[in-house]
Structure formats: structure tokens, C-alpha cells
Amino acid sequence: MDWKGWFSILLVAIQFGIQPFLTEKYLHKTGIKSIIVIIQEIVKTICCTLVLLLSGQFKSAFKNWTLTTSLYLALVPSFIYSIQNVLAFYAYQNLDPLTFNLINQSKIIFSAIFLIILLGKYQTRRQTFSLFILFLVSVMLSYDSSGSSKKNIHHHEHNTAYGTIAIVIASAMSGLAGTLAQVALQSAKMERNSVLYSMELSWYGTLILMGRLYIEMQLNLFDGDIVNKYGWNRGLTWESLIPITVNAIGGIGVGLIIKYASVIHKSYALIGGIFLSGLIRFLWYDHPVTPIMYIAVPMVMYSLYLNADPKKGPPPPTKTVKTE
């Protein structure tokens, strides 16, 4: 693995570690989740375009591109991701950042379940044990978050119960979307540029969200009702682009890890991100790390190590082009 692979791992680790803190600081809770995700998808499209242009891969990536193939590969996963992203932003603003990152690892469990259902691929004993550890940690953190402070670093009200439900559902949808993408790519039997695929998911995700938001505005429901009352930019400032852009770059970074390293190394990036989240929380967060946090951090890190270490077992069969 050359410097590009190590750089990609470092990029995702930093993004994963600081994302919840940036979201909590620069995205106001009154911001409309659908609008935030739409802006994020537009920013991600711009970033993907720049990556393809700067790397000289723009023409080659679109050489054999067709609309039919694009819709087949990306439409359904993008629909699921668009809903998952809205739930994830809601969870960001209702859970402690480190709690969010740790519970978010349950997506590996859902990925394993959907791999069995859709592809008939089973985990090794080693990987099954790592999934059990993740499940145990998720239960511990759910209990811990229910009794934690209901104030964040800016003293906004937290709804930890709904936040926990949102991140669990979002993790399940992430596992399903990733597995569907894998099924589509394997059945198509074709190589796909990872950055181009991220761009396609952003295209369709944006269109789906805009269509859904338009319908909700006409019916005065959910986010559409909020837009009608307060406008689309409620709770948004120019600073809001900071967490939105960082999250978009992180999505591209995952694809770069797969391209320049391997899908196995994504787990090591997440380990680094969890460590960084714990360090930030310990040094700058208003509230001290709880005893359960001290136990959960090494457990999740060890679980990811068991699931990904190529020296002590085969890698998990979860190669996907993009994950959330």
C-alpha cells in the first residue's frame, strides 16, 4: 500500500472522529434535516467532480456510462441512503458524539445479516464473536445514553431515546443499502469507479429528497410543513457548510480506501476515528467520560480488529463501493 492508501485511511479516521462534534457545533438543531442532506449531496457531487478532474479520471470514468446501468446500480441504494442520512443527522443532534460513533458500529451487524439474506454469505466464528461484542456495546451505550445529561455542549435539549432509535434504524438502512449495492455490482459483473459511484448516489439521492420535500410542502407534512412556515434556510448559516462538507469528503474517502488499499482497511480507519472521538471528548467536552464509555471504546476497537484483521482469518465478505 502506497502513500495514497495511508492518506485515505487517515482522512476517513479524522472525518469519522470529528464529524459528530462539528455537526453539534455548527448545525443548529432547528435546521431542516432534508435540506441539510440535499446540500450535503450537492457538495459531495462537487467534491467528486473535482476528484475525478484532478486525478485525470473524468473521461475514463464516463467512457462506458449509460443511464440504464446507472439507475440499475445506484437508484435503490441512493433512496435508502437518502432516508438514512436524515436519520443520522437527527441522531447526531440528540446523542453524545462518542455514543453516536460507537452505536453506529452496529451497521456491521446489519451488514452481516443482509449478506446472509441476500447473498448467502456467512461470517466466520471470529467475525461472529466480533459482532456479538458490538451488539453488547450497543446495548450498554443505549442504557448509558438514556441516563446521561440531556444537554449538549451548547445546552440544547437532547432526546436520547429518539436519538438512539434513529441511529439504530439508520445503521440498519446503511447495512441494507451497502449490501444491495454489492448485489447490484456483482450481478452486473462490471468494474465501477468508486468516485463516480459516489457521485451517482448523490445525484439520485438529491432528486429523491427534493421530490419528497416538494410533496411534503404541498401536503404541509413533516419537513415540508417546516419549510412552508420558516423557509428552507431555517437554522442554517455559512458555518453549516463545515460539517456538511467534511461529511461529504468522508464519503469519498471510503471509496478511496477501497481503491488504494482495501475494504479491510476501512475498519482500521474507524478504529482511529473512535480513538480520536474519545480523545476529543476527554479533553474538550463539558461532561467527563462515563465508566461505560471507558469500557465501550476498547471493546469496539477490539471488535473491529477481530472483524478485519487479515492475519488471523479471512476478511469479511462486505466489499461495497460506498458506506455511510
Give percent of the chain above pLDDT 70. 83
In the prediction, which pLDDT does 245 show? 94
What is the band of 153 on the pLDDT scale with cuts at 50, 70, 90? very low
Tell me what the mean pLDDT of segment 170-190 comes to: 77
Within 8 A by CB and 6+ apart from 67, the residues are none
DSSP string, 138-169: HHHHHHHHHTS-SB-TT--B--HHHHHHHHHH
Instruction: Give the cell for residue 149.
Output: 445529561
What backbone phi and psi angles, to 5 degrees, belong to 56? 70, 20
Of the candidates 15, 3, 1, 9, which has an alpha carbon nearest to the alpha carbon of residue 265? 9
pLDDT score of 58 more than 70: yes
In the prediction, which pLDDT does 147 show? 57
Tell me what the mean pLDDT of segment 21-27 comes to: 87
Instruction: Give the cell for residue 92.
Output: 447526531
What are residue 151's DSSP bridge partners? 157
In the prediction, which pLDDT does 6 show? 86
The 10s digit of each residue's pLDDT in 191-203 is 778 789 889 989 9
Looking at every residue in the chain, the average pLDDT score rounds to: 81
Give the separation between CA 198 and CA 320, rounded to whole angstroms: 11
pLDDT score of 208 more than 90: yes
In the prediction, which pLDDT does 264 show? 56
* 11-20, 60-69, 90-99, 208-217: range with lowest mean pLDDT: 90-99
In the prediction, which pLDDT does 317 show? 44
DSSP string, 261-297: S-THHHHHHHHHHHHHHHHHHHHH-SSPPPHHHHHHH
Give percent of the chain above pLDDT 90. 28
Of the candidates 142, 147, 177, 136, which has an alpha carbon nearest to the alpha carbon of residue 163? 142
- The model carries a pTM of 0.78
As a whole number of Å, the end-to-end CA separation of the chain is 24
* Largest distance between two CA atoms of the chain: 57
Q: What is the DSSP letter of 104?
A: G
67, 136 contact by CB (below 8 A)? no
* 40-44, 60-64, 311-315: range with lowest mean pLDDT: 311-315
Hey, which of 103-112, 261-270, 301-310 has the most confident mean pLDDT? 103-112
